Structure 1
């Protein structure tokens, strides 16, 4: 647990902008305060040095003046044995005058008497003579080395001093004591202490005020950032109704305005995607229904074409049989010339067969009318299929435009997310998925467009084949009408032939010629009918191909509808503004 505590503190420090800003400012203040403290220390040291130099100069000057005085008078301080001596009074009065005149702290004479250190004269003190006062190392050094000695600043029972000492000689020239001057040096440590306390106080005030300023600055910066972070987390969770209410004109305000604009753009994008997905779903349902109807129509056309083909095959078979019968009749007519009775009987048979042929031709004519109507229906269905294909093409064009617009909006969302940076990563992922979906929609729409184009081409071919088949049916109908009329003539001729046996030969000759004409006509009709049957087979094959194409379109539309449903489910995760 203790091992993880530093890591938690480091992670907390790294995860807080306010802590980073406050710490950075405090570190800067500490550096400034440290520099200020060093500068103050150096200034204090320099000032102390200058003060000590001034003390040394004053002490040197004052001790020279006192020494000159001591050498100028006939009395000797080492000969003073008590306070009642005139020399004591004279010298002490002059020392007091030096003290007052030069603002000295003490002027004194110390002497070694019988190995004891004692005061001879000390200004400012009445009971001075004979008082023991141990010599300091500087005093002993002055006596021993016989030179002027200046002490360091020191503290004793009388205060804080800086002193100067010169040896005191007797009549023999021996060093028997010292002549000393003290200056009040309390100003030096006092100045040091005041500078230290001033530096400490200023440093403490700067750190406290700087800390407060850093706290308020970091708070003013991080408060809108935290607010923006919370709103960003809501937007990342799909709540696009959240707004950043920051009224500032600095970079943070611009960032908040840019974020609000990005959120509004994303909200509009999601709205458009939702609306587009609904439109795609509805349009796909309509397309699916239209394609289903077209597929049913194509299947019906194929069934009708197969039925028509079977009917035409029956017509061909009937015409073939009629042609064979006519050939047989023609043969029998050649033999009737020699056998009248057999010819008359054959005439009855021919009459009966002519009646049957007339009924067959009537059936054929009726079937041709039915074929013509079915051809017209097929032509109308093909035209309707072409129109539906055009409508599908227009709708696919709309879908393509929507997918392109969606792709463009997804690109704009990716750009805005990149500007935001780390907060915009969630929005960049969503924009990428929308872009992929738009590209898939574009590819699907392109595939559907190709299928629709192929269907339109097939529809045109079917329409051309139906038109040609319709023309062939009309021509065959005309020929069958002629055949029907010829059968009437044959039937009437045979009736007349039965009643007018005397004109049998002539009538048979005319009948023979007529049968030759009929045979040629039937052969032509048979050839045309076979061609029509082949055309119907092609129409049926084209209808089957169209049905397969429409089934592919239906599958593509179903995929598009599924994609729209997936897009709707993805968009529903977002909460947009009302």
Structure 2
């Protein structure tokens, strides 16, 4: 924009200088026209002088008829006619007429006058040539200036149109940036919600990770208890085996006791009256042996049931142990998943926070761009005003150059006319 200001300032300065030159050209044209008028006056003066010379010559002829030969008078008259026709190379006085007579002095005076006229004619021819050349150069310069002014007007109009387009484009860009800023503000609001959600998810993942760790510890404790229960079941199985062996011994003892009681009863029966007391004891022993056998059978049945229950319990404990081990694996996987979720939640939180910071920075940059765009619009509008002023000045300059061009055309015509007239005057000997 500073370059454009410098350019327009230089252009305005050029127009002012051109105006000054144009004013000088007008002054020069006026001066040359004045000189032409003076030259025309001198030509008229020369004509008048020639006419006066002829009149004087005529009077002199009348006066000298009585004193000089007619031949010299006729020669001077013919030379005066040649002078009147523009031949300034003639010589009136000759060697035969250089005496101190009135005729001789008259002819010498006429030679001096012709010499003076010859000098004036030479000066007029030189002035006419210079005037014609200068006028033609100025006319060409004026024409070039007019062409340059037209180019400047066209360039300024194109520049003004370009500046208007830039202003419109800048306004459109500002509108788009405003829409982008509003969209980014909405995104920022959504990102704030996402940030809150990420923080909440981070906390939930941390809590889930803690619960999973607690569950793993609990499952390991359950697995320990199941292992202890399995050990106790094994011990219980061993003890029930021992009890079963003991009941087998008791059953054998009961059977033997029952057999002994039967033998005792037989012997008591043989003893008759003397063995009646022993028969009662044998009957009680037999009864006790039967009760012992029944109790032992019940114990055996109970032990069988206990063994079956212990077997079922052991099988269930084995299944529970397998399930607990599976549960421990699943809980450990869940803990790993919660750890991954927690790590991902941390990354999401970090990314969302970074995006929010970038949105803040982008919003600041957009605000800066909008502010700078407003400043650019002001500068472009100022440049447009400069371009309008330059176009107006160029139009005024073109009008002035048109007037100067017309005056220069007239000056060239007058100068060429004067040059033609001076060329008709013969001044070289």
TM-score (norm 1): 0.40
In structure 1, what is the Cα distance between the partners aligned to 2:239 and 2:143?
136
**Residue 324 (1) aligns with residue 283 (2):** no
Could you tell me which residue of structure 2 aligns to residue 111 of structure 1?
94
Tell me the secondary structure at the aligned position of residue 110 of structure 1: coil
Q: Cα offset for 1:548?
A: 1.9
Could you tell me which residue of structure 2 aligns to residue 36 of structure 1?
none
**Residue 529 (1) aligns with residue 323 (2):** no
In structure 2, what is the Cα distance between the partners aligned to 1:103 and 1:333?
177
In structure 1, what is the Cα distance between the partners aligned to 2:100 and 2:123?
25
In structure 2, what is the Cα distance between the partners aligned to 1:200 and 1:118?
53
Could you tell me which residue of structure 2 aligns to residue 565 of structure 1?
356
Contact residue 99 and residue 107 of structure 1 kept, 8 A: yes
Could you tell me which residue of structure 2 aligns to residue 157 of structure 1?
116
Contact residue 95 and residue 107 of structure 1 kept, 8 A: yes
**Residue 202 (1) aligns with residue 161 (2):** no
Could you tell me which residue of structure 2 aligns to residue 84 of structure 1?
68
Tell me the secondary structure at the aligned position of residue 324 of structure 1: helix
TM-aligned CA distance change 1:185 to 1:337, over 3 Å: closer
Contact residue 305 and residue 540 of structure 1 kept, 8 A: yes
TM-aligned CA distance change 1:525 to 1:536, over 3 Å: same
TM-aligned CA distance change 1:98 to 1:339, over 3 Å: closer
Contact residue 294 and residue 550 of structure 1 kept, 8 A: yes
Contact residue 288 and residue 558 of structure 1 kept, 8 A: yes
**Residue 128 (1) aligns with residue 106 (2):** yes
- 1:159-558 matched pairs, under 5 angstroms: 159-160=118-119, 188-199=125-136, 201-202=138-139, 205-206=142-143, 224=160, 248=161, 251-336=162-247, 338-339=249-250, 503-558=294-349
TM-aligned CA distance change 1:195 to 1:98, over 3 Å: closer
Tell me the secondary structure at the aligned position of residue 572 of structure 1: helix
TM-aligned CA distance change 1:327 to 1:303, over 3 Å: same
In structure 2, what is the Cα distance between the partners aligned to 1:318 and 1:106?
159
Could you tell me which residue of structure 2 aligns to residue 392 of structure 1?
none
Tell me the secondary structure at the aligned position of residue 109 of structure 1: coil
TM-score (norm 2): 0.52
Pairwise CA RMSD: 4.8
1:352-376 CA-partner distances (Å, limit 9, x unpaired):
xxxxxxxxxxxxxxxxxxxxxxxxx
Contact residue 285 and residue 561 of structure 1 kept, 8 A: no
Instruction: Please identify which structure carries the higher strand content.
Output: 1
TM-aligned CA distance change 1:553 to 1:299, over 3 Å: same
1:463-514 CA-partner distances (Å, limit 9, x unpaired):
xxxxxxxxxxxxxxxxxxxxxxxxxxxxxxxxxxxxx867313212311321
Q: Cα offset for 1:542?
A: 0.7
Higher RCO, Cα 8 Å, sep 6+ = 2
Higher Cα radius of gyration: 2
Q: Cα offset for 1:521?
A: 1.2
Contact residue 277 and residue 565 of structure 1 kept, 8 A: yes
1:207-236 CA-partner distances (Å, limit 9, x unpaired):
7766766776666566x5xxxxxxxxxxxx
Counting matched residue pairs gives: 286
Contact residue 112 and residue 118 of structure 1 kept, 8 A: no
TM-aligned CA distance change 1:98 to 1:198, over 3 Å: closer
Contact residue 108 and residue 120 of structure 1 kept, 8 A: no
In structure 2, what is the Cα distance between the partners aligned to 1:96 and 1:103?
10
Could you tell me which residue of structure 2 aligns to residue 437 of structure 1?
none
In structure 1, what is the Cα distance between the partners aligned to 2:188 and 2:99?
114
Q: What are structure 1's unaligned runs of at least 5 residues? A: 1-11, 30-79, 135-154, 162-183, 225-247, 344-499
Q: What are structure 2's unaligned runs of at least 5 residues? A: 19-63, 255-290, 372-429
In structure 2, what is the Cα distance between the partners aligned to 1:94 and 1:256?
85
TM-aligned CA distance change 1:89 to 1:291, over 3 Å: same
In structure 1, what is the Cα distance between the partners aligned to 2:170 and 2:188?
26
Q: Cα offset for 1:187?
A: 5.8
Contact residue 227 and residue 321 of structure 2 kept, 8 A: yes
Instruction: Please identify which structure carries the higher helix content.
Output: 2
